[in-house]
Chain A
Amino acid sequence: MGLLNKLDDPYEGGGIVLGKIEDLLNWGRSKSDWYLHFGLACCAIEFMAMNASHFDFMRFGTIPRASPRQADFIMVTGTVTFKMADRIKILYEQMSEPKYVISVGSCSNCGGPYWEHGYHVLKGVDRIIPVDVYIPGCPPRPEAFQEGMMLLQEKISHQAIFNKRKKLEAELEK
Protein backbone atom coordinates (compact mmCIF):
# COMPACT_ATOMS: atom_id res chain seq x y z
CA MET A 1 0.00 0.00 0.00
CA GLY A 2 2.68 2.37 -1.04
CA LEU A 3 0.17 5.07 -1.84
CA LEU A 4 -1.70 5.14 1.43
CA ASN A 5 1.52 5.53 3.41
CA LYS A 6 1.92 8.95 1.85
CA LEU A 7 -1.42 10.01 3.21
CA ASP A 8 -0.06 11.29 6.50
CA ASP A 9 -0.68 14.74 5.10
CA PRO A 10 2.62 16.66 4.89
CA TYR A 11 0.79 19.84 3.78
CA GLU A 12 -1.59 20.43 6.61
CA GLY A 13 -5.25 20.44 5.69
CA GLY A 14 -4.50 20.58 2.04
CA GLY A 15 -5.53 17.05 1.23
CA ILE A 16 -2.66 16.86 -1.19
CA VAL A 17 -0.96 13.60 -1.90
CA LEU A 18 2.46 13.55 -3.41
CA GLY A 19 3.25 10.43 -5.31
CA LYS A 20 3.90 8.97 -8.67
CA ILE A 21 0.97 8.44 -10.97
CA GLU A 22 2.61 5.14 -11.77
CA ASP A 23 2.14 3.99 -8.19
CA LEU A 24 -1.52 4.89 -8.33
CA LEU A 25 -2.06 3.00 -11.55
CA ASN A 26 -0.11 -0.01 -10.37
CA TRP A 27 -2.04 -0.04 -7.12
CA GLY A 28 -5.27 -0.08 -9.05
CA ARG A 29 -4.05 -2.74 -11.45
CA SER A 30 -2.74 -5.07 -8.83
CA LYS A 31 -5.89 -4.98 -6.73
CA SER A 32 -8.37 -5.78 -9.46
CA ASP A 33 -7.01 -8.58 -11.56
CA TRP A 34 -9.47 -10.44 -13.68
CA TYR A 35 -8.37 -13.86 -14.63
CA LEU A 36 -9.04 -16.39 -17.30
CA HIS A 37 -9.59 -19.57 -15.39
CA PHE A 38 -7.98 -22.34 -17.29
CA GLY A 39 -8.95 -25.38 -15.23
CA LEU A 40 -7.27 -28.46 -16.59
CA ALA A 41 -6.95 -31.16 -13.97
CA CYS A 42 -6.66 -31.90 -10.26
CA CYS A 43 -5.48 -28.39 -9.37
CA ALA A 44 -8.73 -27.01 -10.76
CA ILE A 45 -10.66 -28.87 -8.06
CA GLU A 46 -8.47 -27.32 -5.42
CA PHE A 47 -9.04 -24.03 -7.16
CA MET A 48 -12.79 -24.55 -6.92
CA ALA A 49 -12.37 -25.02 -3.18
CA MET A 50 -10.28 -21.87 -3.19
CA ASN A 51 -13.14 -19.98 -4.85
CA ALA A 52 -15.76 -21.31 -2.45
CA SER A 53 -16.72 -20.64 1.11
CA HIS A 54 -13.64 -21.16 3.24
CA PHE A 55 -10.99 -19.32 1.28
CA ASP A 56 -12.82 -16.77 -0.85
CA PHE A 57 -10.45 -15.96 -3.69
CA MET A 58 -12.46 -12.92 -4.70
CA ARG A 59 -11.18 -10.87 -1.80
CA PHE A 60 -8.05 -10.32 -3.86
CA GLY A 61 -10.21 -8.41 -6.29
CA THR A 62 -10.18 -11.22 -8.80
CA ILE A 63 -13.14 -12.09 -10.97
CA PRO A 64 -13.18 -15.18 -13.16
CA ARG A 65 -13.74 -14.49 -16.82
CA ALA A 66 -14.59 -17.01 -19.49
CA SER A 67 -13.04 -14.96 -22.29
CA PRO A 68 -9.32 -14.25 -22.62
CA ARG A 69 -10.06 -10.82 -24.04
CA GLN A 70 -11.36 -9.61 -20.69
CA ALA A 71 -8.62 -11.14 -18.59
CA ASP A 72 -5.51 -9.68 -17.03
CA PHE A 73 -3.88 -12.94 -16.18
CA ILE A 74 -4.32 -16.58 -16.99
CA MET A 75 -4.24 -19.27 -14.36
CA VAL A 76 -3.02 -22.54 -15.82
CA THR A 77 -4.20 -25.12 -13.31
CA GLY A 78 -3.21 -28.62 -14.24
CA THR A 79 -1.44 -30.84 -16.71
CA VAL A 80 -0.84 -29.32 -20.12
CA THR A 81 -0.95 -31.94 -22.84
CA PHE A 82 0.18 -31.52 -26.41
CA LYS A 83 -3.38 -31.57 -27.65
CA MET A 84 -4.09 -28.65 -25.31
CA ALA A 85 -0.84 -26.75 -25.80
CA ASP A 86 -1.86 -25.20 -29.11
CA ARG A 87 -5.05 -23.89 -27.54
CA ILE A 88 -3.20 -22.33 -24.63
CA LYS A 89 -0.95 -20.49 -27.03
CA ILE A 90 -3.96 -19.17 -28.95
CA LEU A 91 -5.72 -18.08 -25.77
CA TYR A 92 -2.62 -16.35 -24.47
CA GLU A 93 -2.20 -14.47 -27.73
CA GLN A 94 -5.79 -13.26 -27.52
CA MET A 95 -5.23 -11.56 -24.19
CA SER A 96 -4.47 -7.85 -24.26
CA GLU A 97 -1.35 -6.37 -22.70
CA PRO A 98 -0.35 -6.18 -19.91
CA LYS A 99 -0.85 -9.88 -19.32
CA TYR A 100 0.48 -12.31 -16.77
CA VAL A 101 0.56 -16.05 -16.28
CA ILE A 102 0.35 -18.04 -13.07
CA SER A 103 1.37 -21.65 -13.45
CA VAL A 104 -0.27 -23.79 -10.77
CA GLY A 105 0.96 -27.19 -9.72
CA SER A 106 3.90 -29.38 -10.56
CA CYS A 107 2.45 -30.55 -13.87
CA SER A 108 2.27 -27.15 -15.45
CA ASN A 109 5.52 -26.08 -13.79
CA CYS A 110 7.68 -28.89 -15.07
CA GLY A 111 5.63 -31.94 -16.01
CA GLY A 112 5.22 -33.13 -12.44
CA PRO A 113 4.88 -36.89 -12.00
CA TYR A 114 4.58 -37.28 -15.77
CA TRP A 115 7.99 -35.84 -16.56
CA GLU A 116 9.67 -39.08 -17.57
CA HIS A 117 7.23 -41.34 -19.40
CA GLY A 118 4.47 -38.90 -20.23
CA TYR A 119 4.63 -39.04 -24.00
CA HIS A 120 1.63 -36.77 -24.30
CA VAL A 121 2.42 -34.27 -21.53
CA LEU A 122 4.12 -30.95 -22.14
CA LYS A 123 6.94 -30.67 -19.62
CA GLY A 124 6.12 -27.25 -18.30
CA VAL A 125 3.80 -24.60 -19.66
CA ASP A 126 6.76 -22.18 -19.74
CA ARG A 127 7.92 -23.91 -22.90
CA ILE A 128 5.13 -22.23 -24.82
CA ILE A 129 4.16 -19.10 -22.88
CA PRO A 130 6.13 -16.93 -20.42
CA VAL A 131 5.23 -17.58 -16.78
CA ASP A 132 5.30 -14.94 -14.03
CA VAL A 133 4.51 -16.92 -10.89
CA TYR A 134 4.98 -20.62 -10.26
CA ILE A 135 2.94 -22.22 -7.50
CA PRO A 136 4.43 -25.57 -6.46
CA GLY A 137 2.50 -28.52 -5.11
CA CYS A 138 0.62 -31.50 -6.40
CA PRO A 139 -1.97 -30.08 -5.99
CA PRO A 140 -1.10 -26.86 -4.11
CA ARG A 141 -3.00 -26.06 -0.97
CA PRO A 142 -5.38 -23.09 -1.09
CA GLU A 143 -2.90 -21.19 1.06
CA ALA A 144 -0.35 -21.63 -1.70
CA PHE A 145 -2.80 -20.11 -4.17
CA GLN A 146 -3.12 -17.13 -1.86
CA GLU A 147 0.61 -16.64 -1.67
CA GLY A 148 0.93 -16.98 -5.43
CA MET A 149 -1.69 -14.33 -5.92
CA MET A 150 0.07 -12.03 -3.48
CA LEU A 151 3.35 -12.52 -5.32
CA LEU A 152 1.70 -11.56 -8.57
CA GLN A 153 0.23 -8.44 -6.96
CA GLU A 154 3.65 -7.52 -5.69
CA LYS A 155 5.15 -7.98 -9.11
CA ILE A 156 2.51 -5.80 -10.72
CA SER A 157 2.87 -3.05 -8.14
CA HIS A 158 6.60 -2.72 -8.87
CA GLN A 159 6.29 -2.57 -12.60
CA ALA A 160 7.17 0.41 -14.72
CA ILE A 161 4.47 1.66 -17.04
CA PHE A 162 5.85 5.01 -18.20
CA ASN A 163 9.25 5.36 -19.80
CA LYS A 164 9.56 1.65 -19.71
CA ARG A 165 12.13 1.60 -22.44
CA LYS A 166 14.26 4.30 -20.83
CA LYS A 167 14.32 2.47 -17.55
CA LEU A 168 15.18 -0.78 -19.22
CA GLU A 169 18.03 0.88 -21.12
CA ALA A 170 19.32 2.47 -17.94
CA GLU A 171 19.26 -0.89 -16.25
CA LEU A 172 21.05 -2.50 -19.14
CA GLU A 173 23.77 0.13 -19.06
CA LYS A 174 24.45 -0.69 -15.45
Chain B
Amino acid sequence: MSEKKRLDLEYSQLESDRMRINVGPQHPSTHGVLRLEVEIEGEIVTEVVPHLGYLHRSFEKHCEKMTYPQIIPYIDRIDYIAAMNNEWPYVMAMEKLMGIQIPEKVEFIRVIMAELNRIANHQIAVATFGLDAGAFTPFLFFFRDREYIIWILEKMSGARLLYNYFRIGGLAGDVYPGFKEDCLNIVKQVRKTNAEVMDLLIYNRIFIQRTANVGILPADVAINYACSGPVLRGSGVKYDLRKDETYSIYNRFDFDIPVGTGEVGTLGDCWDRNMVRVNEMEQSCRIIEQAIAQMPDEGDVQSAIPKRIKPPVGEVYMRAENPKGDLGFYIVSNGTDKPERVKARGTSFVNLSVIPEISKGYMFADLILILGSIDIVLGEVDR
Protein backbone atom coordinates (compact mmCIF):
# COMPACT_ATOMS: atom_id res chain seq x y z
CA MET B 1 0.00 0.00 0.00
CA SER B 2 1.42 3.33 -1.01
CA GLU B 3 1.80 6.09 1.51
CA LYS B 4 -0.99 8.15 -0.03
CA LYS B 5 -3.42 5.30 -0.08
CA ARG B 6 -2.62 4.46 3.51
CA LEU B 7 -3.28 8.05 4.58
CA ASP B 8 -6.52 8.18 2.61
CA LEU B 9 -7.72 5.07 4.31
CA GLU B 10 -6.80 6.41 7.72
CA TYR B 11 -8.56 9.71 7.11
CA SER B 12 -11.66 7.99 5.81
CA GLN B 13 -11.93 6.07 9.06
CA LEU B 14 -11.70 9.19 11.20
CA GLU B 15 -15.01 10.17 12.62
CA SER B 16 -15.97 13.78 12.13
CA ASP B 17 -18.51 15.04 14.55
CA ARG B 18 -20.87 17.84 13.76
CA MET B 19 -20.13 20.84 15.86
CA ARG B 20 -22.26 23.86 16.64
CA ILE B 21 -20.36 27.06 17.14
CA ASN B 22 -21.34 30.61 17.79
CA VAL B 23 -20.17 33.54 15.71
CA GLY B 24 -20.94 36.78 17.45
CA PRO B 25 -22.66 38.80 18.76
CA GLN B 26 -19.32 40.39 19.57
CA HIS B 27 -17.20 39.49 16.58
CA PRO B 28 -15.17 41.75 14.31
CA SER B 29 -16.39 40.13 11.10
CA THR B 30 -20.12 40.07 11.62
CA HIS B 31 -20.42 43.77 10.68
CA GLY B 32 -22.16 44.58 13.91
CA VAL B 33 -23.93 42.60 16.54
CA LEU B 34 -25.25 39.69 14.56
CA ARG B 35 -25.09 36.25 16.09
CA LEU B 36 -24.81 33.25 13.82
CA GLU B 37 -25.26 29.79 15.19
CA VAL B 38 -23.31 27.66 12.75
CA GLU B 39 -23.27 23.91 12.49
CA ILE B 40 -20.13 22.65 10.83
CA GLU B 41 -18.90 19.27 9.79
CA GLY B 42 -15.15 19.55 9.63
CA GLU B 43 -14.77 22.78 7.70
CA ILE B 44 -18.05 22.57 5.84
CA VAL B 45 -21.02 24.63 6.96
CA THR B 46 -24.15 22.51 7.18
CA GLU B 47 -26.54 24.90 8.87
CA VAL B 48 -26.68 28.57 9.76
CA VAL B 49 -29.20 30.01 12.17
CA PRO B 50 -29.04 33.80 12.52
CA HIS B 51 -30.14 35.31 15.81
CA LEU B 52 -31.11 38.96 15.55
CA GLY B 53 -32.26 41.64 17.90
CA TYR B 54 -29.04 42.64 19.61
CA LEU B 55 -29.59 46.18 18.35
CA HIS B 56 -33.38 46.29 18.54
CA ARG B 57 -33.87 49.94 19.45
CA SER B 58 -37.68 50.01 19.30
CA PHE B 59 -37.84 52.31 16.28
CA GLU B 60 -41.48 51.59 15.51
CA LYS B 61 -42.54 52.33 19.08
CA HIS B 62 -40.77 55.67 18.90
CA CYS B 63 -42.59 56.53 15.69
CA GLU B 64 -45.92 56.17 17.43
CA LYS B 65 -44.84 58.54 20.18
CA MET B 66 -43.18 61.25 18.06
CA THR B 67 -44.54 63.86 15.70
CA TYR B 68 -43.81 63.45 12.01
CA PRO B 69 -40.75 65.73 11.77
CA GLN B 70 -39.34 64.27 14.98
CA ILE B 71 -39.20 60.84 13.38
CA ILE B 72 -36.55 61.85 10.83
CA PRO B 73 -33.59 61.64 13.27
CA TYR B 74 -34.66 58.14 14.27
CA ILE B 75 -34.78 57.17 10.61
CA ASP B 76 -31.16 58.28 10.28
CA ARG B 77 -30.27 55.75 12.89
CA ILE B 78 -31.88 52.85 11.03
CA ASP B 79 -29.18 52.58 8.40
CA TYR B 80 -26.49 54.78 9.81
CA ILE B 81 -24.11 54.31 6.91
CA ALA B 82 -26.45 55.86 4.35
CA ALA B 83 -28.59 58.21 6.40
CA MET B 84 -29.41 60.61 3.57
CA ASN B 85 -30.89 57.81 1.48
CA ASN B 86 -32.89 56.62 4.46
CA GLU B 87 -34.69 59.87 4.97
CA TRP B 88 -35.76 60.05 1.37
CA PRO B 89 -38.53 57.41 1.19
CA TYR B 90 -39.99 58.72 4.43
CA VAL B 91 -40.21 62.32 3.28
CA MET B 92 -41.47 61.17 -0.13
CA ALA B 93 -44.19 59.13 1.54
CA MET B 94 -45.23 62.11 3.65
CA GLU B 95 -45.24 64.38 0.61
CA LYS B 96 -47.42 61.91 -1.24
CA LEU B 97 -49.79 61.66 1.71
CA MET B 98 -50.07 65.41 2.13
CA GLY B 99 -49.94 66.26 -1.57
CA ILE B 100 -46.94 68.58 -1.42
CA GLN B 101 -45.23 69.72 -4.60
CA ILE B 102 -41.58 70.34 -3.92
CA PRO B 103 -39.38 72.87 -5.74
CA GLU B 104 -37.07 71.65 -8.46
CA LYS B 105 -33.91 72.74 -6.72
CA VAL B 106 -34.76 70.56 -3.73
CA GLU B 107 -35.01 67.53 -5.99
CA PHE B 108 -31.59 68.21 -7.45
CA ILE B 109 -29.94 68.64 -4.07
CA ARG B 110 -31.64 65.48 -2.81
CA VAL B 111 -30.35 63.51 -5.77
CA ILE B 112 -26.81 64.77 -5.29
CA MET B 113 -26.87 64.12 -1.54
CA ALA B 114 -28.28 60.64 -1.99
CA GLU B 115 -25.76 59.71 -4.65
CA LEU B 116 -22.86 61.05 -2.61
CA ASN B 117 -24.05 58.98 0.30
CA ARG B 118 -24.47 55.98 -1.96
CA ILE B 119 -20.82 56.27 -2.94
CA ALA B 120 -19.82 56.56 0.71
CA ASN B 121 -21.87 53.47 1.57
CA HIS B 122 -20.42 51.39 -1.24
CA GLN B 123 -16.95 52.49 -0.24
CA ILE B 124 -17.50 51.10 3.24
CA ALA B 125 -19.09 47.95 1.82
CA VAL B 126 -16.25 47.20 -0.60
CA ALA B 127 -13.63 48.20 1.95
CA THR B 128 -14.94 45.92 4.67
CA PHE B 129 -15.51 43.14 2.16
CA GLY B 130 -11.85 43.43 1.25
CA LEU B 131 -11.03 43.38 4.94
CA ASP B 132 -12.99 40.14 5.33
CA ALA B 133 -10.98 38.64 2.50
CA GLY B 134 -7.76 39.78 4.12
CA ALA B 135 -6.96 42.92 2.13
CA PHE B 136 -6.22 45.88 4.35
CA THR B 137 -4.92 48.53 1.94
CA PRO B 138 -8.18 49.17 0.01
CA PHE B 139 -9.78 49.86 3.38
CA LEU B 140 -7.38 52.75 3.94
CA PHE B 141 -7.85 54.04 0.39
CA PHE B 142 -11.62 54.03 0.61
CA PHE B 143 -11.78 55.58 4.03
CA ARG B 144 -9.48 58.36 2.88
CA ASP B 145 -11.92 59.19 0.08
CA ARG B 146 -14.99 58.69 2.20
CA GLU B 147 -13.75 61.37 4.54
CA TYR B 148 -13.86 63.92 1.69
CA ILE B 149 -17.47 62.98 0.97
CA ILE B 150 -18.30 63.22 4.66
CA TRP B 151 -16.86 66.74 4.69
CA ILE B 152 -19.30 67.84 1.98
CA LEU B 153 -22.24 66.26 3.78
CA GLU B 154 -21.07 67.89 6.99
CA LYS B 155 -20.89 71.31 5.40
CA MET B 156 -24.42 70.83 4.09
CA SER B 157 -26.07 69.44 7.18
CA GLY B 158 -23.80 70.00 10.15
CA ALA B 159 -23.29 66.37 11.03
CA ARG B 160 -20.83 63.76 9.92
CA LEU B 161 -22.93 60.64 10.02
CA LEU B 162 -26.54 61.21 11.00
CA TYR B 163 -27.69 64.21 9.05
CA ASN B 164 -31.35 65.02 9.71
CA TYR B 165 -31.16 67.08 6.53
CA PHE B 166 -34.30 66.23 4.58
CA ARG B 167 -37.49 67.91 5.65
CA ILE B 168 -41.05 67.07 4.69
CA GLY B 169 -41.41 69.35 1.68
CA GLY B 170 -37.88 70.64 1.52
CA LEU B 171 -34.44 70.62 3.04
CA ALA B 172 -32.81 71.96 6.17
CA GLY B 173 -30.59 74.35 4.24
CA ASP B 174 -29.35 75.51 0.89
CA VAL B 175 -26.03 74.61 -0.69
CA TYR B 176 -22.92 76.46 0.39
CA PRO B 177 -20.75 78.48 -1.98
CA GLY B 178 -18.29 76.22 -3.74
CA PHE B 179 -20.52 73.16 -3.45
CA LYS B 180 -20.40 72.33 -7.13
CA GLU B 181 -16.61 72.43 -7.32
CA ASP B 182 -16.33 70.22 -4.24
CA CYS B 183 -18.66 67.63 -5.76
CA LEU B 184 -16.79 67.56 -9.05
CA ASN B 185 -13.50 67.12 -7.20
CA ILE B 186 -14.99 64.19 -5.28
CA VAL B 187 -16.12 62.56 -8.50
CA LYS B 188 -12.59 62.82 -9.87
CA GLN B 189 -11.11 61.39 -6.69
CA VAL B 190 -13.60 58.51 -6.54
CA ARG B 191 -12.84 57.50 -10.12
CA LYS B 192 -9.11 57.64 -9.48
CA THR B 193 -9.35 55.43 -6.40
CA ASN B 194 -11.69 52.99 -8.10
CA ALA B 195 -9.25 52.53 -10.95
CA GLU B 196 -6.57 51.85 -8.38
CA VAL B 197 -8.71 49.41 -6.43
CA MET B 198 -9.62 47.53 -9.60
CA ASP B 199 -6.00 46.43 -9.90
CA LEU B 200 -5.32 46.18 -6.22
CA LEU B 201 -8.38 44.25 -5.07
CA ILE B 202 -11.09 43.40 -7.58
CA TYR B 203 -9.01 41.68 -10.24
CA ASN B 204 -6.45 40.44 -7.76
CA ARG B 205 -5.88 36.73 -8.30
CA ILE B 206 -6.13 35.87 -4.62
CA PHE B 207 -9.30 37.88 -4.19
CA ILE B 208 -10.92 36.21 -7.19
CA GLN B 209 -10.01 32.78 -5.90
CA ARG B 210 -11.57 33.55 -2.56
CA THR B 211 -14.79 35.14 -3.78
CA ALA B 212 -15.65 33.66 -7.18
CA ASN B 213 -18.01 30.67 -7.13
CA VAL B 214 -18.77 31.29 -3.45
CA GLY B 215 -22.25 31.95 -2.10
CA ILE B 216 -24.10 31.57 -5.38
CA LEU B 217 -27.58 33.09 -5.24
CA PRO B 218 -29.83 32.17 -8.19
CA ALA B 219 -32.17 34.87 -9.44
CA ASP B 220 -35.44 33.07 -8.66
CA VAL B 221 -34.36 32.38 -5.08
CA ALA B 222 -33.35 36.02 -4.70
CA ILE B 223 -36.76 37.21 -5.88
CA ASN B 224 -38.63 34.75 -3.67
CA TYR B 225 -36.61 36.01 -0.71
CA ALA B 226 -37.42 39.59 -1.86
CA CYS B 227 -33.77 40.54 -2.02
CA SER B 228 -33.05 43.88 -3.55
CA GLY B 229 -30.22 46.20 -4.38
CA PRO B 230 -26.80 44.86 -5.29
CA VAL B 231 -27.71 41.44 -3.90
CA LEU B 232 -30.48 41.02 -6.46
CA ARG B 233 -28.62 42.77 -9.25
CA GLY B 234 -25.58 40.60 -8.60
CA SER B 235 -27.77 37.65 -9.60
CA GLY B 236 -28.35 39.23 -12.97
CA VAL B 237 -31.80 40.75 -12.38
CA LYS B 238 -32.00 44.25 -13.81
CA TYR B 239 -34.11 45.78 -11.10
CA ASP B 240 -33.47 49.26 -9.85
CA LEU B 241 -36.22 51.44 -8.48
CA ARG B 242 -34.58 54.52 -9.91
CA LYS B 243 -35.46 53.16 -13.35
CA ASP B 244 -38.26 50.67 -12.72
CA GLU B 245 -40.38 52.90 -10.53
CA THR B 246 -38.88 56.26 -11.29
CA TYR B 247 -39.22 58.65 -8.41
CA SER B 248 -38.02 62.19 -7.98
CA ILE B 249 -36.17 63.34 -11.11
CA TYR B 250 -34.15 60.24 -11.92
CA ASN B 251 -35.75 60.04 -15.35
CA ARG B 252 -33.75 63.10 -16.38
CA PHE B 253 -30.39 61.45 -15.96
CA ASP B 254 -28.59 59.04 -18.18
CA PHE B 255 -27.17 56.11 -16.25
CA ASP B 256 -26.94 52.33 -16.46
CA ILE B 257 -27.94 49.62 -14.04
CA PRO B 258 -24.93 47.40 -13.45
CA VAL B 259 -25.78 43.74 -13.05
CA GLY B 260 -23.74 40.67 -12.26
CA THR B 261 -22.28 38.90 -15.24
CA GLY B 262 -20.48 35.89 -13.83
CA GLU B 263 -17.32 37.28 -15.35
CA VAL B 264 -14.86 35.29 -13.26
CA GLY B 265 -17.09 32.67 -11.70
CA THR B 266 -20.77 31.79 -11.62
CA LEU B 267 -23.55 34.32 -11.94
CA GLY B 268 -24.64 35.54 -8.52
CA ASP B 269 -21.52 34.77 -6.52
CA CYS B 270 -19.84 37.04 -3.98
CA TRP B 271 -17.54 38.57 -6.57
CA ASP B 272 -20.49 39.62 -8.72
CA ARG B 273 -22.29 41.30 -5.84
CA ASN B 274 -19.15 43.18 -4.94
CA MET B 275 -18.52 44.16 -8.55
CA VAL B 276 -22.03 45.59 -8.84
CA ARG B 277 -21.20 47.96 -5.99
CA VAL B 278 -17.98 49.09 -7.62
CA ASN B 279 -19.78 49.74 -10.89
CA GLU B 280 -22.58 51.57 -9.13
CA MET B 281 -20.10 54.06 -7.74
CA GLU B 282 -19.23 54.99 -11.31
CA GLN B 283 -22.91 55.37 -12.20
CA SER B 284 -23.45 57.57 -9.15
CA CYS B 285 -20.56 59.72 -10.32
CA ARG B 286 -22.29 60.11 -13.68
CA ILE B 287 -25.55 61.13 -12.02
CA ILE B 288 -23.77 63.66 -9.82
CA GLU B 289 -22.03 65.23 -12.80
CA GLN B 290 -25.28 65.57 -14.73
CA ALA B 291 -27.16 66.89 -11.71
CA ILE B 292 -24.49 69.49 -11.00
CA ALA B 293 -24.68 70.66 -14.61
CA GLN B 294 -28.48 70.94 -14.62
CA MET B 295 -29.02 72.27 -11.10
CA PRO B 296 -30.71 75.68 -10.97
CA ASP B 297 -28.91 78.31 -8.91
CA GLU B 298 -32.01 80.17 -7.82
CA GLY B 299 -34.74 78.80 -5.63
CA ASP B 300 -35.80 78.56 -2.02
CA VAL B 301 -35.37 75.09 -0.59
CA GLN B 302 -37.73 75.72 2.31
CA SER B 303 -40.65 77.35 0.52
CA ALA B 304 -42.79 74.19 0.38
CA ILE B 305 -42.33 73.09 3.99
CA PRO B 306 -45.79 73.19 5.58
CA LYS B 307 -46.25 75.11 8.81
CA ARG B 308 -48.28 72.36 10.44
CA ILE B 309 -47.68 68.79 9.52
CA LYS B 310 -50.97 67.03 10.04
CA PRO B 311 -51.67 64.63 7.20
CA PRO B 312 -55.20 63.42 6.45
CA VAL B 313 -56.37 59.97 7.49
CA GLY B 314 -54.86 57.44 5.15
CA GLU B 315 -51.95 55.20 4.53
CA VAL B 316 -49.09 55.05 2.12
CA TYR B 317 -46.28 52.69 1.28
CA MET B 318 -43.29 54.33 -0.34
CA ARG B 319 -39.96 52.87 -1.24
CA ALA B 320 -36.77 54.18 -2.71
CA GLU B 321 -33.55 52.66 -3.94
CA ASN B 322 -31.15 52.68 -1.05
CA PRO B 323 -27.52 51.65 -1.49
CA LYS B 324 -28.41 48.32 0.06
CA GLY B 325 -31.71 47.78 -1.72
CA ASP B 326 -35.19 49.16 -1.54
CA LEU B 327 -36.14 50.63 1.78
CA GLY B 328 -39.85 51.01 2.26
CA PHE B 329 -41.92 52.91 4.77
CA TYR B 330 -45.50 52.00 5.47
CA ILE B 331 -47.10 54.96 7.19
CA VAL B 332 -50.61 54.89 8.60
CA SER B 333 -51.97 58.28 9.56
CA ASN B 334 -54.91 58.80 11.88
CA GLY B 335 -55.33 62.51 11.24
CA THR B 336 -53.30 63.73 14.20
CA ASP B 337 -49.74 65.00 14.24
CA LYS B 338 -48.47 61.59 15.30
CA PRO B 339 -48.63 58.51 13.10
CA GLU B 340 -50.72 55.50 14.00
CA ARG B 341 -48.10 53.10 12.77
CA VAL B 342 -44.84 53.31 10.87
CA LYS B 343 -43.33 50.12 9.60
CA ALA B 344 -39.87 50.20 8.14
CA ARG B 345 -39.13 47.42 5.71
CA GLY B 346 -35.46 47.10 6.45
CA THR B 347 -33.44 46.19 3.41
CA SER B 348 -30.75 44.39 5.35
CA PHE B 349 -33.38 42.52 7.34
CA VAL B 350 -34.74 41.01 4.16
CA ASN B 351 -31.39 40.51 2.46
CA LEU B 352 -29.96 38.82 5.52
CA SER B 353 -32.74 36.23 5.57
CA VAL B 354 -31.18 34.60 2.50
CA ILE B 355 -27.98 33.71 4.42
CA PRO B 356 -29.11 30.27 5.66
CA GLU B 357 -30.08 29.39 2.11
CA ILE B 358 -26.88 30.31 0.30
CA SER B 359 -24.17 29.48 2.80
CA LYS B 360 -24.77 25.75 3.09
CA GLY B 361 -21.99 23.56 1.78
CA TYR B 362 -19.27 26.19 1.75
CA MET B 363 -16.22 26.45 3.96
CA PHE B 364 -16.55 28.20 7.25
CA ALA B 365 -14.18 30.95 6.13
CA ASP B 366 -16.43 31.54 3.12
CA LEU B 367 -19.38 32.20 5.40
CA ILE B 368 -17.75 35.42 6.53
CA LEU B 369 -17.27 36.43 2.90
CA ILE B 370 -20.88 35.64 2.03
CA LEU B 371 -22.01 37.75 4.95
CA GLY B 372 -19.72 40.57 3.83
CA SER B 373 -21.00 40.42 0.27
CA ILE B 374 -24.61 40.84 1.42
CA ASP B 375 -23.58 44.16 3.01
CA ILE B 376 -25.84 44.34 6.00
CA VAL B 377 -26.05 47.04 8.62
CA LEU B 378 -27.40 45.82 11.90
CA GLY B 379 -29.28 48.98 12.71
CA GLU B 380 -31.51 48.21 9.77
CA VAL B 381 -31.81 44.52 10.56
CA ASP B 382 -32.99 45.07 14.10
CA ARG B 383 -34.35 48.61 13.96
Taking Cβ atoms with an 8 Å cutoff, the residues of A that contact B are 37-42, 44-46, 48-49, 52-54, 64, 66, 78-79, 81, 83-84, 87, 91, 113-114, 116-121, 138-139, 141
Complex CA gap A94/B7 in Å reads 42
Would A81 and B124 count as touching, CB distance under 8 A? no
Would B143 and A87 count as touching, CB distance under 8 A? no
Would B25 and A87 count as touching, CB distance under 8 A? yes
Task: Annotate B51-67 by CB proximity to A: 1 below 8 A, 0 otherwise.
Answer: 00111111001100100
Query: Which listed residue, A41, A49, A64, A117, touches B80 by the CB 8 Å rule?
Result: A41
Complex CA gap A87/B25 in Å reads 8
Complex CA gap A120/B124 in Å reads 28
> Counting chain A CB atoms within 10 Å of each CB, which of B81, B147, B150 scores highest?
B147
Would B74 and A113 count as touching, CB distance under 8 A? yes
Would A87 and B26 count as touching, CB distance under 8 A? yes
Q: Known: A117-B62, A139-B162. Is A41-B26 also a contact (CB below 8 A)?
A: no
Complex CA gap A13/B26 in Å reads 53
Closest 4 A-B residue pairs measured CB to CB?
Answer: A52-B143, A42-B80, A53-B144, A84-B54
Point out the residues of chain B lying under 8 angstroms from A46, CB to CB: 160-161
Would B144 and A78 count as touching, CB distance under 8 A? no
Point out the residues of chain A lying under 8 angstroms from B74, CB to CB: 113
Would A49 and B33 count as touching, CB distance under 8 A? no
Query: Which listed residue, B65, B140, B143, B378, touches A41 by the CB 8 Å rule?
Result: B378
| Chain A min CB distance to B125 (Å) | 12
B27 on the A face (CB < 8 A): yes
**Selected A-B contacts with CB under 8 Å, 19 pairs:** A38-B26, A39-B28, A40-B55, A41-B77, A41-B379, A42-B77, A42-B80, A46-B161, A48-B143, A49-B143, A52-B140, A53-B144, A66-B27, A66-B28, A78-B55, A81-B57, A117-B58, A139-B80, A139-B161
Point out the residues of chain B lying under 8 angstroms from A53, CB to CB: 140-141, 143-144, 147
Closest to B81 in A: A45
Task: Annotate B138-164 by CB proximity to A: 1 below 8 A, 0 otherwise.
Answer: 011101101100100000000011100
Closest to B143 in A: A52
| Chain B min CB distance to A108 (Å) | 12
Would B28 and A37 count as touching, CB distance under 8 A? yes
Closest to B53 in A: A83
Would A116 and B26 count as touching, CB distance under 8 A? no
8 further interface pairs, Cβ-Cβ under 8 Å (given A45-B124, A83-B53) = A40-B33, A42-B379, A52-B147, A53-B147, A79-B57, A84-B33, A114-B57, A139-B80
Point out the residues of chain A lying under 8 angstroms from B378, CB to CB: 41
Scan residues 25-74 of chain B and give those whose CB is less than 8 A from a CB of chain A: 25-28, 32-33, 53-58, 61-62, 65, 73-74
Scan residues 112-150 of chain B and give those whose CB is less than 8 A from a CB of chain A: 124, 139-141, 143-144, 146-147, 150
Would A45 and B80 count as touching, CB distance under 8 A? yes
Would A81 and B54 count as touching, CB distance under 8 A? yes
Closest to B65 in A: A117
Point out the residues of chain B lying under 8 angstroms from A37, CB to CB: 28
Complex CA gap A53/B355 in Å reads 32
| Chain B min CB distance to A67 (Å) | 10
Query: Which listed residue, A41, A48, A119, touches B58 by the CB 8 Å rule?
Result: A119
> Counting chain B CB atoms within 10 Å of each CB, which of A78, A83, A87 scores highest?
A83
Would B144 and A52 count as touching, CB distance under 8 A? yes
Complex CA gap A120/B173 in Å reads 34
| Chain B min CB distance to A109 (Å) | 15
| Chain B min CB distance to A142 (Å) | 8
